[in-house]
Structure 1
Amino acid sequence: MPASKAQQAETADRRAQLVRLRRQGVPFDDPRILGLGYASRGAASKDLIRALETNRDDEAAEVSVYRQQEGERLDAMLAALWPQATEERPIYGKEGQYVGKGVDTRAVGEVRQIIALRAKLFGLEMPAALEVSGPGGGAVRLNTVGLTELQTLISAAGEPDPEDEDDTDLAGTYDPEDEDEDEDGDAA
């Protein structure tokens, strides 16, 4: 059976006092905390965790409502701009002469921004998966290595296959000849 409103209010008040005391650095076994009605320091600790979880659930609910409202606003804007961004309409030049048909490119840009905002709001942007592995697909050591060890690892990886080239930009790759230059490109 759920707690009565009076019991809920009493629990909320006790938890508020507990949180206030803990924020002041009062330990769980202090008489001020035990005086709130807790049988032990463990009971007080568990109740603090319950209070934090309850607030987290309340915050999550509020965030969910906010996200829903913002999503509805963005949907309304998207619906208003969609026809201009997708349907061809007559285009007239500066002097009023008919030029042709096309979509409103400004509306297309705004639609793209709205779609990007929705993706960000709802967490639809997936981070790029990246996996780094050592020679032969094994683990990469994370300790510091010397230049000799690094060159050994590079030579063990082998030269890239010229037939398997792609458009990857290799400007940021290690070049041992750069070792003798400082940040300005001058010889060290």
Structure 2
Amino acid sequence: MPASKAQQAETSARRTELVRLRRQGLDFDTIAARLGYSSRGAASKDLIRALESNRDEEAAEVSVYRQQEGERLDAMLAALWPQATEERPQYGAEGKYLGKGVDVRAVGEVRQIVALRAKLFGLEMPAALEVSGPGGGAVRLGAATLAELNDLISLAGDPDGTDPDDSEDEPNETLYVDEDEDDDSDPA
């Protein structure tokens, strides 16, 4: 049986307080004791439920928004489609008959509407980006000398237009790239 309105309000108030206390940095044991949860696990699960519920509500609102915007764009598209696709008599500035054709401005508007719909509904293909090394091969991550980096820059072309060979002789330093990006531990 679904919860009564009073029970729903009570659950909502408790979850609101749960989120507030967690944002303050309190641990789940303390939160469970303050809010009457049976255990720290119950408080933790309720926090997850609160976050999921909020996410579901947001997703529903976004879905409704997309639907409304899609309907508006569809109405505009329907109004412009005949002008953009059907040939009609075309007249010049002085009223001179130029022949039959489609309304070029309407074609541009239709293209913009179609692009907006694709963006709204996520239909655009993502741009493929690739960083490659010399000859299209893989970029090696790890230790590299300054000379090796300068060689790579000269192969790719220096973006600021300066020639790395014109610089004064620099020591052959070794630079390191952190290959373990997930390790956020601080040795201090």
Normalising to structure 1: TM-score of the pair? 0.72
Distance in structure 2 (CA, Å) of the matches to 1:130 and 1:94: 47
Q: How does 1:27-176 map to 2 (within 5 A)?
A: 27-30=27-30, 33-132=32-131, 139-143=138-142, 145-146=144-145, 148-149=147-148, 173-174=156-157
Shift of 1:41: 2.1
Q: Which has the higher contact order (CA 8 A, sep 6+)?
A: 2
Structure 2: which amino acid aligns with 1:11? Answer: T
Change (3 A) 1:151 1:18: closer
Stretch moving more, 99-108 or 47-56: 99-108
1:99 alignment partner, SS class:
strand
Match of 2:5 in 1: 5
Number of matched residues?
164
Please tell me whether the aligned partners of residues 32 and 38 of structure 2 are also in contact (alpha carbons under 8 angstroms).
Answer: no
Change (3 A) 1:138 1:94: closer
Please tell me whether the aligned partners of residues 15 and 47 of structure 2 are also in contact (alpha carbons under 8 angstroms).
Answer: yes
Match of 1:179 among 152, 157, 164: 164
Distance in structure 1 (CA, Å) of the matches to 2:62 and 2:140: 41
Stretch moving more, 51-60 or 38-47: 38-47
Shift of 1:42: 2.2
Distance in structure 2 (CA, Å) of the matches to 1:23 and 1:152: 50
Normalising to structure 2: TM-score of the pair? 0.72
RMSD (Å), alpha carbons: 3.0
Change (3 A) 1:137 1:174: closer
Shift of 1:69: 0.6
Where do 5+ consecutive residues of structure 2 fail to align?
168-188
Match of 1:163 in 2: none
Partner deviation per Cα, 1:139-184 (whole Å, 9 max, x = no partner) = 5322352365468889xxxxxxxxxxxxxxxxxx337x932358xx
Change (3 A) 1:136 1:92: closer
Distance in structure 2 (CA, Å) of the matches to 1:98 and 1:116: 33
Please tell me whether the aligned partners of residues 21 and 33 of structure 1 are also in contact (alpha carbons under 8 angstroms).
Answer: no
Change (3 A) 1:61 1:180: same
Please tell me whether the aligned partners of residues 34 and 44 of structure 1 are also in contact (alpha carbons under 8 angstroms).
Answer: no
Residue identity (%): 80
Shift of 1:135: 7.2
1:78 alignment partner, SS class:
helix
Match of 1:185 in 2: none
2:89 alignment partner, SS class:
strand
Structure 2: which amino acid aligns with 1:41? Answer: R
Change (3 A) 1:133 1:98: closer
Where do 5+ consecutive residues of structure 1 fail to align?
155-172, 183-188
Distance in structure 2 (CA, Å) of the matches to 1:181 and 1:83: 62
